[in-house]
């Protein structure tokens, strides 16, 4: 594949999304690179598309353009113009009214504008170290690691199968192999039954009480929950402890960012009322 073909191979479909109807008109004073009917595309827009298609970034786009031969530049512009022509043809055929196409256009526009709005808030979303530390000190009680255990299990819906699993493991079979053959928790069966680290409050009460009171590296069970039966082994245990600022710096920053975002959203809600209807989703999911 030639360099020209590499540059333009994926541009067609990319341009269908970006050029029409989402792209802005060419800015005054910005030289026009091509015109299709009432659509004008500026040099800056062409550089933007070139950067987007190449993945090299906008700063590198002028260099990429300079390295293109006259034939390659013309071919690139031809592909952009073809995308605009096809988008206009789609409107003539009413394809923009298709629910799927309409949704893609709508949400591409919404996401682009939302990203631009958040970008305009950049200064409000940047926090100095002293601000992060002050928030941490004020909310130290929140930043704790709860008691947790790392556990693996064999989960079955029938008690007989759970007892079979327990006997096989106690008889010397490898836990991971028994989990792979008998567990119906397929996500963990593939990893030898390993559930990872579990904190209090995340599992059915009967199972949680069993694993948090169990000695390390002892295969126990079966424990019944409303879902079925668990044969399990606690592999490691972590005690509850206070976390240091260094451990939670990113979480502190995320909390402050969320506070700014929530405050900004609340301000906009005062102007643009929001109505949430969770029951509509419940009805749809129940169908």
Q: Binning pLDDT at 50, 70 and 90, where does residue 212 land? A: very high
CA 178 vs. chain centroid, Å, equals 34
Q: Binning pLDDT at 50, 70 and 90, where does residue 263 land? A: very high
14 in Cβ contact with 22 (< 8 Å) = no
Q: Binning pLDDT at 50, 70 and 90, where does residue 285 land? A: low
Task: Tell me the chain's radius of gyration from C-alpha atoms.
Answer: 29
Determine the pLDDT at residue 13.
40
pLDDT in tens, 35-66: 999 999 999 998 888 888 888 777 888 888 88
Asked: is 149-241 a CATH 3.40.640.10 domain? The reply is: no
168 in Cβ contact with 284 (< 8 Å) = no
Record the pTM: 0.63
Q: Which two tokens stand for residue 19?
A: 């050029």
Q: Binning pLDDT at 50, 70 and 90, where does residue 176 land? A: very high
pLDDT in tens, 118-160: 999 999 999 999 999 999 999 999 999 889 999 999 999 999 9
Please give the torsion angle defined by the CA atoms of residues 85, 86, 92 and 98, in that order, rounded to the nearest 10 degrees: -150
Query: Is residue 26 predicted with pLDDT exceeding 60?
Result: no
Determine the pLDDT at residue 11.
45
Tokens 């031809």 sit on residue: 78
Query: How far is Cα 225 from Cα 202, in angstroms, rounded to an integer?
Result: 13
Tokens 């008889």 sit on residue: 171
Residue ranges, CATH 3.10.50.40, the chain: 149-241
């Amino acid at each position: 594949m030639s360099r020209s073909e590499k540059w333009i191979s994926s541009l067609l479909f990319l341009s269908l999304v970006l050029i029409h109807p989402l792209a802005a008109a060419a800015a005054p004073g910005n030289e026009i690179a091509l015109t299709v009917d009432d659509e004008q595309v500026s040099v800056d827009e062409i550089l933007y598309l070139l950067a987007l298609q190449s993945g090299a970034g906008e700063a590198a786009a002028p260099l990429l353009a300079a390295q293109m031969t006259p034939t390659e530049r013309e071919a690139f512009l031809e592909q952009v113009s073809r995308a605009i022509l096809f988008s206009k043809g789609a409107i003539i055929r009413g394809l923009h009214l298709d629910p799927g196409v309409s949704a893609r256009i709508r949400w591409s526009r919404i996401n682009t504008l939302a990203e631009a709005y958040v970008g305009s808030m950049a200064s409000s979303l940047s926090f100095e170290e002293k601000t992060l530390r002050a928030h941490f000190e004020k909310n130290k009680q929140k930043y704790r690691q709860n008691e947790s255990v790392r556990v693996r299990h064999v989960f079955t819906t029938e008690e007989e199968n759970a007892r079979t699993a327990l006997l096989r493991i106690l008889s010397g079979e490898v836990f991971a192999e028994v989990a792979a053959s008998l567990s119906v928790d397929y996500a963990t069966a593939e990893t030898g039954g390993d559930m990872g680290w579990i904190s209090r409050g995340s599992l059915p009460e009967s199972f949680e009480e069993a694993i948090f009171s169990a000695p390390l590296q002892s295969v126990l069970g079966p424990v019944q929950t409303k879902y079925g039966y668990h044969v399990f082994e606690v592999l490691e245990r972590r005690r509850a402890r206070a976390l240091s600022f260094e451990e939670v710096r990113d979480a502190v920053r995320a909390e402050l960012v969320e506070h700014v975002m929530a405050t900004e959203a609340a301000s906009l809600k005062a102007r643009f009322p929001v109505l949430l209807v969770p029951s509509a989703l419940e009805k749809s999911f129940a169908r």
